[in-house]
Amino acid sequence: VIEDVTVDFSREEWQHLDPVQRCLHQDVTLETYSQLCAMGNQAPKPEVIFKLEQGEGPWTLEEESPHHGCSDV
């Protein structure tokens, strides 16, 4: 269900986003998932949500620390 209402980026597209854009993507995706859960979504939590909750993006870039979260922006 989350896949129907979120934007997925390819690895190449993700590399072109700046940190603020990545943070916005994280915030919007997590908020959307929260709203779906509030409306009764019973589907298992997608892998992308686990990654975003850990402060990671859908793609961890080689030059990035995996712990680089939105609070670091």
Predicted confidence (pLDDT) at residue 22 exceeds the cutoff of 60: yes
Q: What is the pLDDT of residues 27-59, one digit of tens each?
A: 998 999 899 889 898 888 888 888 888 888 777
- Phi first, then psi: give them for residue 13, nearest 5 degrees: -60, -40
pTM, full prediction: 0.71
With residues binned 3-state (H G I as helix, E B as strand, rest as coil), the percentages for the chain, rounded to 5, are 55, 0, 45
